[in-house]
Structure 1
């Protein structure tokens, strides 16, 4: 018969494995959406956003509330965003059974120009089991002074 310490160790191992699987899944979803975004197509992000998503970035005056407002923003810039490549740096996922927070640094490359951003995405596991973005916050990285 297993003792309490063995049971606790088994539960902790399973929880860690589940969190690692969730993290890998969330990061893969984000990268797939970014791959589309870099070709001027915001649909990848629209597809993984919940109907009640809220959105912040430095180029919008106020928080956007809901998928319709986000879609209107993305449709206004559809086909105008391009990157030669990007790097998702230092991705970190903190997850529970129903929520996950992804934070990362982002570098987008267009010719010789590098655009640096910070991003936080909050994902919620829906009743269907799918993960959907419920909150996005993009901010520009402060330029380094030389």
Structure 2
């Protein structure tokens, strides 16, 4: 196990347990995901309040019914022998927690390199579910910062 980051050293004992739980929920969904089983995300993505951004879709997905269609299209089709979840970090609010991480996997369909954001909220049934998810591609920096333009 890695040593806590400076941010994690400020967690209360309850936050430490919750952070571990939420990261385990995400890893459980990813374990299924890379074995062609989309049910893990069906379970952790909220059915009552959900939005989603993906690098392959120019518009925000507005509800769980629409994401269900996306999941249906991938069910049984995506596989990877291994994946790497890098630097997971939880930031807390009141009954909300923000999980950010980088995901790397060479799958049978695409090579995944994503910055991932999962906003969890405690729902009425006291379960933590994702109310917003963003999966954005990690791209190499191609901007030239060697010359600075004059500010007008």
Q: TM-score, normalised by structure 2?
A: 0.79
Q: CA 1:143/1:121 → structure 2, altered by over 3 Å: closer, same or farther?
A: same
Q: For structure 2, list consecutive stretches of 5 or more residues without a partner in the other structure.
A: 1-8, 143-152
How well do the aligned residues superpose, as a CA RMSD in angstroms?
Answer: 2.1
2:83 to 81, 86, 106: 86
Deviations 1:65-84 (A, max 9, x none): 11111101110122221111
- Kindly indicate whether the alpha-carbon contact (under 8 Å) linking 1:22 and 1:95 is maintained by their aligned counterparts in 2: no
**In the alignment, what sits opposite 1:46?**
42
- Kindly indicate whether the alpha-carbon contact (under 8 Å) linking 2:52 and 2:134 is maintained by their aligned counterparts in 1: yes
**In the alignment, what sits opposite 1:103?**
100
Aligned length: 132
Which of structure 1's runs of 4+ aligned residues deviate more than 2 A? none
- Is 1:69 matched up with 2:69? no
CA shift, 1:114, in A, is: 4.9
Q: For structure 1, list consecutive stretches of 5 or more residues without a partner in the other structure.
A: 1-12
Deviations 1:73-113 (A, max 9, x none): 110122221111111100000113400000001111348x8
- Kindly indicate whether the alpha-carbon contact (under 8 Å) linking 1:104 and 1:118 is maintained by their aligned counterparts in 2: yes
**In the alignment, what sits opposite 1:133?**
130
Q: Distance in 1 between matches of 2:114 and 2:93?
A: 26
**In the alignment, what sits opposite 1:60?**
57
- Kindly indicate whether the alpha-carbon contact (under 8 Å) linking 2:78 and 2:107 is maintained by their aligned counterparts in 1: no
- Is 1:21 matched up with 2:17? yes
Q: Distance in 2 between matches of 1:114 and 1:101?
A: 25
Q: Distance in 1 between matches of 2:117 and 2:69?
A: 21
